[in-house]
Structure 1
Amino acid sequence: MLKTLPDDTILQTQGLTKEFLGFAAVSNVNLQVKRGSIHALIGPNGAGKTTVFNLLTKFIQPTQGHIQFNGIDITRESSVQVARRGMVRSFQISATFGHLTALENVRVALQRKRGDSFNFWSSVRRLDALNDRAMALLEEVDLRSFADTVAIEMPYGRKRALEIATTLALDPELMLLDEPTQGMGHEDVGRVVELIRKVSANRTILMVEHNLSVVESLCDTLTVLQRGSVLAEGNYATVSKDPRVLEAYVGVEA
């Protein structure tokens, strides 16, 4: 029987399990994400983090368990239905078009929100009506000066910011960010950390992140996975001192 969500909880899983040919990639995961928080899923490689994200965003269906979003059971809904409810994964919708400008990329995302993203024959006037909102979103992620830059020519860190802008175009209530700082240099990491902090002001963020200094700086709650199961949960100060977590991270950058 599904539990009633507390008012401060936006997302909850109960007994979430995914098996592949008898192998449990995710096993009995009970996750509770508080509204307005930044919550991290961490753990060594192969811990099941990406599989949990795939289950939440309905790329795959669970073998067992339930997922509730805003008090609604979304366990058997499609990825499109879940996105329309306001839970959006950064790479799911926001993959950029390399040969479009930053402004055009955000405008495409806004068309999708409006429901006519595939009407490429729309009049210039109809498309230009989206420009003010597109520029506002670029401003929000500090990309206004890149508005006319083709995405393929943008620095890597700026491309990640553009992906966040296109995700914001869908007006998500819960953003799922999968390794937002992966492959970045120190300067870009700092810029993206500040960007995530900025865009979290009016929404909830659930993120997978390997960089523990990023997690320490940003996140209110950490859920540590190991071999598909929850190993520990709490704030960074508590989790980082847990002997089980330290053991799980042997050989992993801490």
Structure 2
Amino acid sequence: MPDTALETRGLTKAFGGFRAVRGLDLKVRRHAIHALIGPNGAGKTTVFNLLTKVHVPTEGQILYEGADITREASAAIARRGLVRSFQISAIFPNLSVRDNVRVALQRRLGTQFQFWRSGRTLTVLDEEAMRLLAEVGLAEAADARAADLSYGRKRTLEIATTLALDPPFLLLDEPTQGMAIEDVDRIKRLIRRIARGRTILMVEHNMSVVADLCDTITVLQRGEILAEGPYAAVSTDPAVRAAYLGGGHA
């Protein structure tokens, strides 16, 4: 089995005359934690949108586990196991924590679009829902209303609903954005735990998170790779330091 889980070749996205991503050649190693970092406007979110088919590439290829998925629809990408957790928390605020996870688990029953069915049909998912909540440290809050959770715990719940799909490849978009220090530490421990046996590609601005978690870091600037490697290498790269300290808006 090849060591590369995801690869892009010459990936490009143009919006009119502006190229947000320019000829990106990216390789994400299987079972690694890989970070995309860069100044604001560097193209990080556009790359995520290309990988999950929010945007269609202007040029280039996307390969997942050796298969060309460049023209596949977003639903097909998710079925292959590339699942994205969004920068803005996406949960059902008026449902309980447990019910949020049970809704995410409905796909396993094939009833996710059968909205007329009784909620009692979801009770068969209780054990799995509680297992996932225990995995992310939310078991004691199972009966709480999702809206009543702190911001950091809402993001944790979102990750739990993402894990309900049992994805082999997880894309995390700014998982610690806006969090207090104690929540950041909790999310770091969670990411490290759920990374076992999974591949994770993350966009993250918090450099302490990147330094602690990531095997490989790709630094983007103006839609191109500026530097790549372990944190110790990229953090001392003069071009990277200039991009962060000297502005570098794309």
Q: Give aligned-pair identity as a percent.
A: 63
Q: How far apart in 1 are the matches of 2:120 and 2:19?
A: 52
CA RMSD of aligned residues (A): 1.5
Give the letter for the 2:115 counterpart: F
Q: How far apart in 1 are the matches of 2:157 and 2:80?
A: 22
Return the match for 1:171 from 166, 169, 173. 166
Structure 1 segment 136-215 matched on structure 2, within 5 A = 136-215=131-210
CA contact (8 A) 1:113 1:169 kept: no
Matched with 2:90 is 95
Secondary structure of residue in 2 paired with 1:130: helix
Deviation at 1:116, TM superposition (A): 1.5
Q: Are 1:240 and 2:244 an aligned pair? A: no
Q: How far apart in 1 are the matches of 2:110 and 2:160?
A: 18
Return the match for 1:135 from 99, 120, 130. 130
Deviation at 1:121, TM superposition (A): 2.6
The alignment covers a number of residue pairs equal to: 247
Secondary structure of residue in 2 paired with 1:59: coil
Q: Are 1:83 and 2:91 an aligned pair? A: no
Q: How far apart in 2 are the matches of 1:167 and 1:46?
A: 26
Deviation at 1:91, TM superposition (A): 2.5
Q: How far apart in 1 are the matches of 2:103 and 2:116?
A: 13
Q: How far apart in 1 are the matches of 2:61 and 2:37?
A: 21
Give the letter for the 1:132 counterpart: E
Deviation at 1:114, TM superposition (A): 3.4
Secondary structure of residue in 2 paired with 1:18: strand
Return the match for 1:7 from 2, 22, 27. 2
Return the match for 2:21 from 6, 20, 26. 26
Q: Are 1:51 and 2:46 an aligned pair? A: yes
Deviation at 1:142, TM superposition (A): 0.3
The one-character-per-residue Cα deviations of 1:122-178 (angstroms, maximum 9, x if unpaired) are 234421001100110000100001100111000111101100000000110100000
Q: How far apart in 2 are the matches of 1:206 and 1:191?
A: 19
Q: How far apart in 2 are the matches of 1:91 and 1:222?
A: 20
CA contact (8 A) 1:107 1:130 kept: yes
TM-score normalized with structure 2 length:
0.96
Return the match for 2:63 from 53, 68, 88. 68
- Which consecutive unaligned segments of at least 5 residues does structure 2 have? none
Check 1:227–1:79 CA distance in 2 against 1; reply closer, same or farther (3 A cut): same
Q: How far apart in 2 are the matches of 1:69 and 1:102?
A: 32
- Which consecutive unaligned segments of at least 5 residues does structure 1 have? 1-5
Q: How far apart in 1 are the matches of 2:175 and 2:92?
A: 18
- In the TM superposition, structure 1's runs of 4+ consecutive aligned residues that sit over 3 Å from their partners are none
Give the letter for the 1:127 counterpart: L
Check 1:75–1:114 CA distance in 2 against 1; reply closer, same or farther (3 A cut): farther
Q: How far apart in 2 are the matches of 1:100 and 1:157?
A: 17
Deviation at 1:29, TM superposition (A): 0.5
Return the match for 2:37 from 38, 42, 48. 42
Deviation at 1:251, TM superposition (A): 5.9
Q: How far apart in 2 are the matches of 1:210 and 1:165?
A: 22
Q: How far apart in 2 are the matches of 1:71 and 1:106?
A: 31
The one-character-per-residue Cα deviations of 1:64-121 (angstroms, maximum 9, x if unpaired) are 00000011100000110000000000129x8210000110000000013433212233
Give the letter for the 1:191 counterpart: R
TM-score normalized with structure 1 length:
0.94
Deviates more, 1:52-61 or 1:108-117: 108-117
